[in-house]
Amino acid sequence: MSHKTNNKKKMERFDVLSNAVVFIFAICSLFPLYWLFTSSLKNSSDVVKMPPDWWPRTITFDNYVDIFKSQPALRWAFNSLFVSGVSTILVIVVGAMAAYAFSKLKFKGRNLIFVIFISSLMIPKEIMIVPLFRITQEFGMVNSYNGMIWPNVATAFGVFLLKGFFDATPNALREASRIDGAGEWRTFLQIMLPIVKPGIGALFILNFVQVWNDYLWQLVIGQEKSMKTLMVGTATLMQDLNPNFAYKMAGATVAAIPMLLIFLLFQRYFTQGMTAGAVKE
Amino acid sequence: MNSKRFLVTIVALILLTSIMAGCSSKNNEAGNNAGDSGKKEKVAIKVWLTPQWKGVLDATEPGADYDSFFKHAAEKFTAQYSKYDAKVDVEVIAGDQRDQLLNVNLSSGTPPDVIFESVFALGDYVHRGALAPLTDIVDDASKKDIAQSYWDSVTFGKDVYFYPFQNNPGTLVYNADMFKAAGLEKFVGGDTEIKTWTLAEYEEILKGLKDNLPKDKYSNAYPMALYAMNNQGDTWNLAYLRMFGNKFFDDQGNIVLDDANGVKAAAWLKKIKDAGYTNPGPESVSSNDVNGMFQNQQLAISFTNPVLFNNTKADMESGKLKKFDARLANIPSESGDPLSFTYVTGAGVFNTKDEKRMEVAKDFVKFFSTDPELVKSSKNAIPVRSSVAEEFKSEKPLFAAYDANSKYLFNFTGNVPGYSQLREVLYPELQALYMGASTPERAVKEYQTKGNKVIQTNKANSVIYGNQ
């Protein structure tokens, strides 16, 4: 009995300790967000003050007023949302179909083509910027949503991620569906796709974040003021000689809020997607 | 049923994208159109600028923005232009986006036609052959109105590559209240003066601030700003290295810092750091950090230029900053002459290989750089034109002080090829010096060796040196 009580006490102590460690890590993770938000309510010189003000001495909303009043920040926010949203949906559509094909369909050169696909992930986008820009330019897509969206769709990441999920689904399901008379499309859409929903959720978040945060491509392609994304637009307002850090913090806060909402909405799928397939049953 | 819905969704998505893309701006690449709508041939040019000042004449105008001046200048230009039916598109790009945007567009053969920016940031593009000479659009009246030192900083080889418009001279800024609190009243200059101290006086000021600044009023405060975290504000560091008379570049455009005077300057920087006359840890402090510290009265002397100085004053007026008496001073030197440098801002024309566009671009640059009404906007920094400085001298009393300094200006870039790469070589040497990982002798020697290597490599590809 006393042995059990001792064990229980030990466990409780361990719980307290592990909770304390987790709490410290959570604080460390959340601190940059806190700092971002509070700095956006300061004036520029207070942002770099040493020792820092942990809470703004005087709160000012001027930075937000400046962003939304004197600049087309709402248009920039729409551009960011539209480009990230449409790119991500297209990546999911294309990626799911390709991943299904690589995982379940048998065709000549399947593995070789998949390896070529995966190899493209190893090439940093920066290397492709100039040729990609020239191609986009030839298509007349500079300063257009087409130019901002389509190059982001041509990524093998979605295929790579979703293939793993399709691989984890039993072949018997597909075979049963075919025996019951369902065609390949119907099997894909009604049987297989719902099973890989957690993977699609994870892909949605990862791809959305990646396109939302994309700076270089959106910078070179959206050169007109009205075609900038939030990331690029707010950076444009920084003067070299007089950098207003609080202004940049306000821009980053505005840019971060939709991301936080997206994450909160899709968090369930994201965590499911991360753990799915980890245990073989 | 579901598959149909899926297909319909995809088609709808693609249609939506296309519609949105159609609604968005078309590719507005500048180009020529021999349209029939008018008798004149249509020529469109693209102007890029980094944020400089808001409004046409100043930021108090309603709707003032960074592109206001150029939009107004474009309207005025196209209205009077008779050679072509010209269209001028203006885009603002951030300073830290400049090189990425220019390099991608240059590689793709679509650079802007005109760029308006600090000349020092664009010198490498001249050496690469990306910019066209503007010597043919400089007239005698402008040559007379703009001091030779400004022309020198925009001249590469034999040609002028930028039309100077305004400039931002670098000086020191000091907190006169802190000086007075430390009993250094005698060193405080007038509020419309750029005070010149001798090096001995400057050292006395630093010591006085260190020893006598009341700790109750100015806790955690230091005499002078010193920084070397990155290349930001490195021009002031370049000036400090000239304090003992080193001329930095020889006539062939090589760095010659490694002499007795260069070593003396590096040793002086190390000495004031070790004596506690500067903020601690300059190796990990940036110019933006020290600027914030100065504004928060944690530094008595810092670096500044007219834009920073005016913004600091404006922030005090608007209540964003606690008020204090900020005044200007020159960077002292052993000779007693002030060390003065400036960032000349002006327009350059890219070599787009399209003769008509280049012709219109040059005409536009000449127009806004010489038009009597438009050049008045240069008062937002310091005008390069004596006529404009004279016109605004009562409104802007510091113009005269800056003008008096212009004879001491040194060209901090030396217009050498690879200047942007050269900037990456300096701060690591200063960091090593401040951390004690290098001696003054070794720091200047290393900088000279590495810097000259950068210059030699870039000379090999420079059109100015006839190597391309």
pLDDT in tens, B63-93: 888 899 999 999 999 999 999 999 999 998 8
φ, ψ (nearest 5 deg) of residue B434: -70, -30
Residue carrying structure tokens 């059109």? B463
CB contact under 8 A, B13 and A86: yes
Residues 6+ apart with CB under 8 A from A3: none
Task: For residues B281-304, give the mean pLDDT.
Answer: 92
- Find, among A257, A240, A242, A210, the residue nearest to A68 by Cα: A257
Rounded to the nearest angstrom, the gap between the alpha carbon of residue A134 and the centroid of all alpha carbons in its chain is 26
Inspect the interface and report whether the beta carbons of B288 and A48 lie closer than 8 Å.
yes
The reply to whether residue A224 touches residue B25, judged by beta carbons under 8 angstroms, is yes
Beta strands in B119-266 (DSSP E): 131-132, 155-156, 159-160, 163-175, 194-195, 222-224
Q: Which residue of A has its CA nearest to B343?
A: A241
> Per the structure block, which two tokens stand in for B193?
């003066």
Contact at 8 Å (CB) between A134 and B108?
A: yes
Position B51 pLDDT exceeds 50 = yes
Cross-strand partners of B90: B47
Instruction: Check if the beta carbon of residue B123 is closer than 8 Å to that of residue B152.
Output: no
B314 in reach of chain A (CB within 8 A): no
Which chain B positions have a beta carbon within 8 Å of A241's beta carbon? 168, 305, 307-308
Which stretches of chain A score pLDDT less than 70? 1-4, 50, 237-243, 270-281
Residues of A within 8 A of B297 (CB-CB) are none
Residue B172: what pLDDT? 97
Range in A100-114, B132-146, B400-414 the model is least confident about: B400-414
Whether a cis peptide bond, with omega within 30° of 0, leads into B62 is no
Q: Which residue of A has its CA nearest to B291?
A: A45
**Which chain A residues touch B107 with a CB distance below 8 Å?**
130, 133-134
What confidence score (pLDDT) does residue B5 get?
Answer: 62
Element (H, E) at B300: strand B299-304
Q: Which residues of chain B does A70 touch, with a Cβ-Cβ cutoff of 8 Å?
A: 65
Q: Which of B409, B390, B337, B416 is nearest to B150 (CA)?
A: B409
| Confidence tier at B14 by pLDDT (50, 70, 90) | low
Question: What pLDDT shows up at residue A51?
Answer: 75
Q: How far apart, in whole angstroms, are the C-alpha atoms of residue A117 and residue A123? A: 11
What are the residues facing B329 on neighbouring strands? B172, B195
A187 Cβ partners below 8 Å, 6+ apart? A174, A177, A178
Q: Please state, in angstroms and rounded to a whole number, the distance separating the CA atoms of residues B290 and B222.
A: 11
Please give the pLDDT value at position B29: 42
**pLDDT exceeds cutoff 70 at B25:** no
Nearest CB to A242; choose among B20, B110, B311: B311
Tell whether the model's pLDDT for residue B15 goes beyond 60.
no
pLDDT in tens, A159-175: 999 999 999 999 898 88
CB A222 within 8 A of CB A232: yes
Mutate to test the interface with A, among B24, B313, B323 (most CBs of A within 10 A): B24
Contact B13 A133 (CB under 8 A): no
Q: Does B11 touch chain A (CB under 8 A)?
A: no
- Cβ count near B262 (within 10 Å): 27
The pLDDT score that the predictor gives to residue B135 is 96
* Set of chain A residues whose Cβ sits within 8 Å of the Cβ of B233: none
| pTM of the complete model | 0.80
- B169-342+416-459: which CATH architecture? 3-Layer(aba) Sandwich (3.40)
Only one residue has tokens 């499309």, namely A185
- Convert the pLDDT of each residue in B197-230 to its tens digit: 999 999 999 999 999 999 999 988 999 999 999 9
Residues 57-76 of chain B with CB under 8 A from chain A are 65-67
Distance from CA of A72 to the nearest CA of B (A): 12
Judge: A48–B25 Cβ closer than 8 Å, yes or no.
no
**Cα(B347)–Cα(B114) distance, integer angstroms:** 7
Q: How far apart are CA A154 and CA A137, in angstroms?
A: 17
In order of A45, A216, A234, B54, B288, the CA distances from A246 in angstroms are 8, 23, 12, 19, 13
- Report whether B47 contacts B88 (CB < 8 A): yes
Dig out the tokens for B222 from the structure.
């230091």
Q: Which CATH number fits domain B32-168+343-408: 3.30.1490.20, 3.40.50.80, 3.40.190.10, 3.40.50.150?
A: 3.40.190.10
Q: Where along chain B do its domains lie?
A: 32-168+343-408, 169-342+416-459
Contact indicator for B181, B218 with CB cutoff of 8 Å: yes
Residues of A in contact with B118 (CB under 8 A): 240
> How confident is the model over A64-119, as pLDDT tens digits?
887 888 788 889 989 999 999 999 999 999 999 999 999 999 999 999 999 998 99
* A-chain residues near B105 (CB < 8 A): 133, 220
CB spacing of B97 vs A219 below 8 angstroms: yes
For the cut 90, the answer to whether the pLDDT of residue B177 exceeds it is: yes
In this structure, the number of other CB atoms found within 10 A of the CB of residue A131 comes to 11
Q: Which residues of B touch A219 (CB under 8 A)?
A: 97, 100-101
Within 158-177 of B, beta carbons closer than 8 Å to A belong to 168
What average pLDDT does chain B have?
A: 90
- Does the predicted interface ipTM exceed a cut of 0.85? no
Residues 6 or more apart in contact with residue B366 via CB below 8 angstroms: B137, B163
Chain A residues whose CB is inside 8 A of the B21 CB are 141, 144-146, 149
- Dig out the tokens for B285 from the structure: 């402090």
Question: What is the dihedral angle through the alpha carbons of B356, B78, B92, B418, rounded to the nearest 10 degrees?
Answer: 40
Cα of B240 to nearest chain A Cα, Å: 20
Chain A to chain B Cβ contacts (< 8 Å)? 146
Q: Which residues lie below 8 Å from residue B3, measured CB to CB, with a gap of 6+? A: A185, A186, A189, A190
Same fold, B32-168+343-408 and B169-342+416-459: yes
Question: Residues in chain B, how many?
Answer: 468
- Contact state of B25 with A243 under an 8 Å Cβ cutoff: no
| pLDDT value of position B3 | 55
Q: Does B308 touch chain A (CB under 8 A)?
A: yes
Are B172 and B328 within 8 A, CB to CB? yes
**pLDDT value for B35:** 45
Cα torsion B33, B36, B42, B44 to 10°: value is -60
Give pLDDT tens digits for B254-276. 999 999 999 999 999 999 999 99
Nearest to A143 among B28, B97, B295 (CB): B28
pLDDT tens sequence across B346-401: 999 999 999 999 999 999 999 999 999 999 999 989 999 999 999 998 999 899 88
* 3-state DSSP assignment of residue B31: coil
